[in-house]
Amino acid sequence: MNLVITIPEPDFEGLGKTEAEARLDLAVFFYTEWHMPPGRCAKYAGISKVVFLDELGKKGIPVRYDVSALEQDVQNFSPPR
Residue 24 falls inside a structural domain: yes
8 lies in some domain: no
**Count of domains in the chain?**
1
Residue 5 lies in a domain: no
Is residue 7 in a domain? no
Against a cut of 0.95, is the pTM above it?
no
Indicate whether 79 belongs to any domain.
no
Q: What is the pLDDT of residues 22-57, one digit of tens each?
A: 999 999 999 999 999 999 999 999 999 999 999 999
Q: In terms of C-beta distances under 8 Å and separation of at least 24 residues, what long-range contacts does 56-62 make, across chains too?
A: 56/28, 56/31, 59/28, 61/28, 61/31, 61/32
User: Residue 6: pLDDT band by 50, 70, 90 thresholds?
Assistant: confident
